[in-house]
Structure 1
Amino acid sequence: MTTSHLDATRDSYDTVAEDYAVRVGQLFDQEPISRAMLAAFAEQVSGPVVDVGCGPGHVTAHLASLGLDVAGVDLSPKMVEIARRQYPDLRFSVGSMTALDFPDGELGGLVAWWSIFHLPPEVLPSVFAEFRRTLAPGGRLLIGFHVGDERLSPETAYGHPVTYDAYLLEPGRIAELLGQAGFEVTARLAMEGRKRPQSCLSARAV
């Protein structure tokens, strides 16, 4: 991912952060299947967990409520500010999933919950390799994403102008890339989304 793409994503989410936090938190409360996937993930994890692309921290907080030792990381300083304000007892930091600030093999689990949406497909192999680097053998990965094969370039989101691109992804291709990065996909879930199909993949670091 180029610096300009990271900058566009960061700046756009800084712009929409307050409205995004209200909207997404409400939607999460209406998604029992998503919460069930997170609960299954929590039962399988041993060790610290990171929620990458955590946004305003609602998924991080949910994972903490399931008993996990979890921290959130997000590219947007404004999102991290909101997360810290809403969940002052949890740990949040500014960072990029393209270069995670964790030692090799430190994590027991990693969640990327609809946060690979803005990654160009050509950088997914290096990002998945970064996920694998941070996970201990047997560590668990849970990814949620929008399904398709299309690049989106919206001009507005959540009532504000944005400059990021977004990408719809094919589950089979994501599973293939995870295998190449050193993961075994252990479960797949297809879901109907409000605007487009969605998919969740659960995987184990091998």
Structure 2
Amino acid sequence: MKIKEVIVVEGRDDTARVRQAVEADTIETNGSAIDEEVLERIAIAQQKRGVIIFTDPDFPGERIRHIVAEHVPGCKHAFLPKESARAKRNKGVGVEHASIEDIKQALQGVYELTDEEAGTIEKEELIAYGLIGGPKAGQRREKLGVALRIGKTNGKQLLKRLNMFQISKEQLKETMNQIVQEEKDEK
């Protein structure tokens, strides 16, 4: 599988792992200390070919994603569930630990952020689905993030991502019905 866009990753190990899964060019941020030169290269890549931000599913990875997206509008986003990015022997989490298949799947589920306020999902709907304020809210948000490939979020971030990625009310409803059914089946 060949990727047209340039993929932004955190480091060399991520680049090596991504290139085992797909044919792609990458730009490495070298961690969360992203300098202006790297941001400028990402901006040029966005203008010429487009950019996919593919960072680790942890706090530093989300911070890098936010910095790049803020400085370079119009980037696409790929997400890996945390359990797909765990190292076998230590507590590390990262793209470099993911399977080839998980990386391919994450890159196929790319989302493009929009500037317009096209979001139709309201906070009250998240409360009704038990995604905010309920005893299982954190678990449900995590399952929803994996199912929709939008990453792990807190309640406020979830509402923003659902609307930025233009997830429809129907898609949210269908996915939540599946999650609730899985919870019933687990009992």
Q: TM-score, normalised by structure 2?
A: 0.37
The structure whose Rg is larger is 2
* Greater share of helix: 2
Q: Tell me which of the two structures has the higher relative contact order, counting C-alpha pairs closer than 8 angstroms and 6 or more residues apart.
A: 1
